[in-house]
Amino acid sequence: MGRIIIQEETEKFPISLIGKEAGVCWGGNTRDQAKNYKRGLGCIKDGHGRTMEYPQIYMILDGYSARVIRELYTHIAGGPTRLQASTRYIDYESGFDYITPPSISKDPETEKVYRDAMAGILENLQKLEAMGVPREDNALLLPLGMTTKVVLRTNLRNLADMSHQRLCTRAYWEYREMMKDIIDALVAYGENEGENEWKKASELLFMPKCDVTGFCTESKCCGRRPKKED
């Protein structure tokens, strides 16, 4: 499965930063870190979403499928930005890595069909390469299941909103796993820094949307929460 690398440019004390920036507007004492932290918690609990755009998160998403990264781009808005590994530099001699869904890997027969298809793609890529077709054109054969690497810069508010959609039990399985990996990586990043503010922020903000609303908003409900009455 993939892995998340939180880069050192990421804010280590997101809640305190929120409180500091909010304190400037409120005329508060922004030199007192304890007050900044308390003020930041208040902003999160009161739903002052704009303040949550200040903590920036820089991370590398490595080993997830091109399909799930394609879905990630639906959450790119405003400040967040990203870079993705080019398909021009894939080494066809070594082959390409890809994701195998559990629904396929659980059965040897379906797994063989899947792996044979991937092997066939690689074989034809190698043939086209040998025939002199430009690699950027060969890349059109590459499957959505191929793994890729992305450098993503986002912020706490955007990531919280993403979690509401992608921790839902009806979200695509790989995206749910990636979302959990991101949360785990941020919590680990906040360790050994005194108060682990990323752990606290994740507890307050990262959850499926039914936990935010108290009811399910989906037309096809999984039953985890009751649907809202009409």
Instruction: Give the model's pLDDT for residue 88.
Output: 80
Instruction: Give the model's pLDDT for residue 78.
Output: 59
Instruction: Give the model's pLDDT for residue 28.
Output: 86
The per-residue pLDDT for range 23-42, each reduced to its tens digit, is 998 888 999 999 999 999 99
The amino acid occupying position 66 is: A
* β-sheet bridge partners, residue 216: 227
Instruction: Give the model's pLDDT for residue 195.
Output: 86
If one counts every other C-beta atom within 10 angstroms of the C-beta of residue 130, the result is: 9
Which segments of the chain have a pLDDT < 70?
77-80, 230
Fold of 3-85+147-213: Gyrase A; domain 2 (3.30.1360)
Instruction: Give the model's pLDDT for residue 227.
Output: 87
Q: Is 57 exposed, middle or buried (0-12, 13-18, 19+ CB in 10 A)?
A: buried
**Domain chopping of the chain, boundaries:** 3-85+147-213
End-to-end CA distance of the chain: 41
Strand order in the sheet with 81-84: 3-6, 56-65, 147-155, 81-84
Instruction: Give the model's pLDDT for residue 230.
Output: 62
Lookup: tokens for 164: 């509401």
Sequence-ordered strand ranges (E) for the chain: 3-6, 56-65, 81-84, 147-155
CA dihedral for 105, 163, 96, 6, sign (positive or negative): negative
